[in-house]
Structure 1
Amino acid sequence: MIIVAITGASGVIYALKLLEALKENKIETGLVITDPAKLILEYELGMDENDFKKLATHYYEADDLTASINSGSCLFKGMVIVPCTMKTLSAIAHGYANNAVTRAADVVLKERRKLVIVPRETPLRSLHLENMLKISKEGGIILPAMPGFYHRPQNIDDVANFIAGKILDVMNIEHNLFKRWHGDEI
């Protein structure tokens, strides 16, 4: 199982594309959506949490610290936080496990599983970068939502699929969400 957490930053389309791809690949998922993220789902995509729950295998409330994903004894492959707020990133970097997102991320790091964080903020303060470095030093993967354009995206879905594809690459999951660079296109 892969845990997908959505926090209250802009860019929830990346989570949508990731969940769609994971479901298409028949990969078991656990979903956590924070309350601020629920507002962003509506604002950016005109969707609600139920639309996202349909794409996941399991759903966990963000404020439920008793959820199974908050324990190292719950065996799951890894976790993706997409998009990730700077507040959530800071909490993870400093071991402040105050909700199901930050506690599950804490479990992933302590159990040496794969944690992928997709921060969505720009520009970045030095403190943001320091927090990312702390997580990276513990084995977390920082994957900023910085799409490439060599695949010549035609619409917003192509751009979002590029980021979702990069997440899947890091999680070692095959996909065809974007055309890969081969160097002979120039």
Structure 2
Amino acid sequence: MWQPNPSIITLAMTGASGLQYGLRLLECLVAADKQVFVMVSKAAQVVAATETDWSLPGQSTALENYLISRLSARSGQIRVFSREQWMAPVASGSGAPSAMVVCPCSTGTLSAIACGASNNLIERAADVALKERRQLILVPRESPYSEIHLENMLKLTRMGAVILPASPGFYHRPQSINDLIDFIVARILNQLGIPQQLMPGWGAALHHDELEESQHEPHE
């Protein structure tokens, strides 16, 4: 009988702007001692070269070695699969992990997942997550959204996927771009049930301030 393995997470990065979210999430998953099955689209490699100082190799073995070295991951902790590696565990319900994140998720990938296209391994892995009723988190980054985008998001939400737009808040008073990135990554980790120290929960800072204030109040 298949049993979910919460220590393994599937992470796909596609060609939307905001690849920093996916790379930071990967870093946090490695730090949390999760094994990560990684897929990177060709468009995501272009975005990485445009927006970051990460030079993601096109060949899966080279990319795997690059990520392991850059993130100081243990051997085998990161496994990279190519777009047509159909024998990868993520291609079947009997082998795929219990959770998958597409971060960032392009609107093209969103559309393909919504209609079950399965033209490449990323789309197939998401299709598996949906059909097996496993956790699927999609992080779109687009502005504005068209009616097509919104319809696809609604359709996927009704299927059980979580749509988590890359729309960081500002109530934590970010001091840097990294603070904005961590805001979204913290939300993803919360959805996955992985403890994180990137961002306190709503009200936590207020509770801390109230506690400190009460300690300084005179006692009757």
TM-score between both structures, scaled by the size of structure 1:
0.94
Max radius of gyration: which structure?
Answer: 2
Following TM superposition, the consecutive aligned residue runs of length 4 or more in structure 1 with deviations greater than 3 angstroms are 50-56
Match of 1:171 among 192, 195, 201: 192
CA distance in 2, matches of 1:53, 1:71: 25
CA distance in 2, matches of 1:79, 1:48: 24
In structure 2, do the counterparts of structure 1 residues 135 and 83 end up closer, same or farther at CA, with 3 Å as the change threshold? same
Using the TM superposition, give the Cα deviation of residue 150 of structure 1 relative to its aligned residue in structure 2, in angstroms: 1.2
* Farther-moved stretch of structure 1 (68-77 vs 81-90): 68-77
Contact 2:67 2:78 in 1 (8 A): no
Q: Does 1:109 align with 2:130?
A: yes
> What amino acid is aligned across from residue 41 of structure 1 in structure 2?
A
Q: Of the two structures, which has the highest relative contact order with CA contacts closer than 8 Å and spacing of 6 or more?
A: 1
Partner of 1:34: 41
Aligned residues: 186
CA distance in 2, matches of 1:106, 1:164: 23
Using the TM superposition, give the Cα deviation of residue 135 of structure 1 relative to its aligned residue in structure 2, in angstroms: 0.6
Runs of 5+ consecutive residues of structure 1 not aligned to the other structure? none
TM-score between both structures, scaled by the size of structure 2:
0.80
Aligned residues: percent identity? Answer: 42
Runs of 5+ consecutive residues of structure 2 not aligned to the other structure? 1-7, 57-62, 72-76, 210-220
Q: Does 1:8 align with 2:29?
A: no
Partner of 2:52: 45
In structure 2, do the counterparts of structure 1 residues 75 and 91 end up closer, same or farther at CA, with 3 Å as the change threshold? closer
* Farther-moved stretch of structure 1 (163-172 vs 55-64): 55-64
SS in 2 for 1:16: helix
Q: Deviations over 1:75-96 (max 9, x none)?
A: 4121000000111000000010
Match of 1:148 among 163, 169, 181: 169
CA distance in 1, matches of 2:96, 2:81: 15
> What amino acid is aligned across from residue 123 of structure 1 in structure 2?
P
SS in 1 for 2:46: helix
Contact 1:31 1:53 in 2 (8 A): no
